[in-house]
C-alpha cells in the first residue's frame, strides 16, 4: 500500500524536520520544490500533501505559489505557516497581518482514525515511560528524563515528597496532559495515537480526591458501565468492603450521595470508587494515595480490598504510606521530578541511602504517640 506524503518546500528552516517526524511514524515522505509540476506529484501517487512554511510574505511582489493543479488532486493538504497562507490566497481567501506573533509548540488531538494515520491498538498491557519530560509552565520542569517500564500484571509503586511529580505521572498516562518530549506506550502503542475514550477503557482509577456524582450510590458504582445487574453492583460493594455501611442507610443502594458526594466521608467515597473499579475490572489499575483517608485499622482493611482488586492487573500506585508498598514488584522514588532510586523494597533497603533514610523515618514515625 502506498502511503507516500509529499512535502512542498517553500524555503522553511524546518522542512527536513517535518519529513523526519513523518518518517519516524513509518510514513514514507518526499520533499519536492514548491514549483514542481503537478504531473510529477500525480506520478508519485501520494496520500496527502504538506505545504511548508517559508520566509516570504504572500503579499510580496515576488511571492511564490505552487501549481494550482495541486488543489484539484482531491487529496488532503496541510498548510503550515506560509503554506497555509498561500493555500488561502490561491483558493480565493485572504490573509491579514496580526498585531502579535505566535511561536512554539501546539498539541493536535487526532479524534478519528484515517487510512494514513490509523489509531494504534495496544498489544498487551505493559506501560512504558520513555525519556519523558513535562512542565506545567515554561519556568519549572515537573518531570525530567523519566524512563521506566511497568510489566503486564505487575505492581509498581511511586513514592516521593509532595510536588515531586508522582500524580503527574498518572495524569500523563491518562492523557489529561501530553508529554513535552519522549513518549508513553501501552502495549507498545503510543498513547498519543489512541483516542482518550479508547485509552480509558483499559484503565480503572482510584484517586485521593474521589469525585462522585449527585445520584445514588448504585448509580455511582455502576457509572459508565452498561448493562449492570443489581447483583453485580452489590458484589462489587462487598469486595470494596462498603456493603455493610450501605445497608445501614435508609435507602441503602438508592441513597443519594449529594453534590460531589458531600454526604459521605472521604473514606466512604473512596470505597465507592474502589467498588466501581471492581465492577469495571479493567486490565490497568491506577491508584493515587489510596489509603489517604484511613486510620491504621481501616488502612489494613483497605489494603486487603486492594490486593484482591490488583490480581491479574498492571498496577501503578502513588503512595505516601510506605507500609502499602513493601510488596511492590518495583518502587520508583521521585525527587524534584527525577527518578533517584528504582528497585523493590528489599533491594532499595540494601543499596540506596535515600530510601534507607526514608524507611527509617517512617518506622520512627510509627512509634510516635501524642500525650
In this prediction, residue 106 carries a pLDDT of 52
- For 195, the grid coordinates are 483516542
Q: Alpha helices of 210-352 — where are they, by DSSP H?
A: 217-221, 230-239, 243-247, 266-280, 296-309, 345-351
**CATH fold label, 5-90:** Rossmann fold (3.40.50)
SS3 337: coil
Identify which of 294, 5, 344, 299 has the alpha carbon closest to the alpha carbon of residue 159. Answer: 344
* Spatial separation of the C-alpha atoms in residues 362 and 370, rounded to whole Å: 16
Strand 127-134 vs strand 143-150: parallel, antiparallel, or unpaired?
antiparallel
What is the value of pTM for the model shown? 0.64
Q: Is 259 exposed, middle or buried (0-12, 13-18, 19+ CB in 10 A)?
A: exposed
Q: What is the mean pLDDT of each run of 10 residues along the chain (371 residues)?
A: 84 85 86 91 91 84 86 90 88 76 55 66 91 85 92 92 87 88 92 84 80 81 84 89 87 80 74 87 86 62 77 88 84 92 91 87 68 47
- A 10 A CB-CB count for 300 gives 13
The Cα–Cα gap between 171 and 161 comes to: 17
What is the H or E stretch that residue 79 is in? strand 77-79
Assigned C-alpha cell, 43 = 506520478
Domain positions in the chain? 5-90, 127-366
Q: Do domains 5-90 and 127-366 have the same CATH topology?
A: yes
Specify the CATH number for 127-366; select among 3.40.190.10, 3.40.50.300, 3.90.420.10, 3.30.200.20.
Answer: 3.40.50.300
Amino acid at each position: 500500500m502506498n502511503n507516500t506524503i509529499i512535502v512542498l518546500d517553500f524555503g522553511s528552516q524546518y522542512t527536513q524536520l517535518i519529513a523526519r517526524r513523518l518518517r519516524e511514524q513509518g510514513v514514507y515522505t518526499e520533499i519536492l520544490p514548491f514549483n514542481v509540476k503537478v504531473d510529477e506529484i500525480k506520478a508519485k501517487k501520494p496520500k496527502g500533501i504538506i505545504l511548508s512554511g517559508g520566509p516570504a510574505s504572500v503579499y510580496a511582489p515576488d511571492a511564490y505559489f505552487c501549481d494550482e493543479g495541486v488543489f484539484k488532486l482531491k487529496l488532503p493538504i496541510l498548510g503550515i505557516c506560509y503554506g497555509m497562507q498561500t493555500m488561502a490566497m490561491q483558493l480565493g481567501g485572504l490573509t491579514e497581518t496580526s498585531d502579535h506573533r505566535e511561536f512554539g509548540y501546539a498539541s493536535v488531538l487526532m479524534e478519528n482514525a484515517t487510512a494514513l494515520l490509523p489509531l494504534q491498538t495496544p498489544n498487551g498491557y505493559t506501560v512504558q515511560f520513555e525519556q519523558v519530560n513535562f512542565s506545567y509552565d515554561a519556568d519549572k520542569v515537573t518531570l525530567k528524563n523519566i524512563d521506566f517500564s511497568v510489566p503486564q500484571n505487575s505492581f509498581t509503586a511511586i513514592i516521593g515528597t509532595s510536588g515531586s511529580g508522582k500524580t503527574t505521572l498518572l495524569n500523563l498516562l491518562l492523557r489529561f496532559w501530553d508529554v513535552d518530549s519522549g513518549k508513553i506506550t501501552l502495549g507498545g502503542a503510543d498513547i498519543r495515537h489512541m483516542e482518550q475514550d479508547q485509552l480509558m477503557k483499559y484503565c480503572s482509577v482510584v484517586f485521593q480526591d474521589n469525585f462522585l456524582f449527585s445520584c445514588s450510590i448504585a448509580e455511582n458504582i455502576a457509572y459508565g458501565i452498561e448493562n449492570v445487574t443489581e447483583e453485580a453492583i452489590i458484589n462489587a460493594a462487598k469486595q470494596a468492603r462498603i456493603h455493610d455501611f450501605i445497608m445501614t442507610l435508609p435507602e441503602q443502594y438508592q441513597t443519594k450521595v449529594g453534590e460531589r458526594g458531600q454526604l459521605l466521608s472521604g473514606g466512604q467515597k473512596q470505597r465507592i470508587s474502589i467498588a466501581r473499579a471492581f465492577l469495571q475490572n479493567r486490565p490497568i489499575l491506577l491508584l493515587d494515595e489510596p489509603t489517604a483517608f484511613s486510620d491504621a485499622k481501616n488502612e489494613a482493611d483497605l489494603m486487603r480490598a486492594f490486593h484482591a482488586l490488583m490480581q491479574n492487573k498492571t498496577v501503578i500506585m502513588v503512595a505516601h504510606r510506605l507500609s502499602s508498598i513493601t510488596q511492590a514488584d518495583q518502587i520508583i522514588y521521585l525527587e524534584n521530578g527525577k527518578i533517584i532510586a528504582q528497585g523493590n523494597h528489599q533491594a532499595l533497603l540494601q543499596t540506596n541511602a535515600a530510601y534507607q533514610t526514608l524507611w527509617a523515618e517512617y518506622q520512627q514515625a510509627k512509634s510516635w504517640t501524642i500525650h
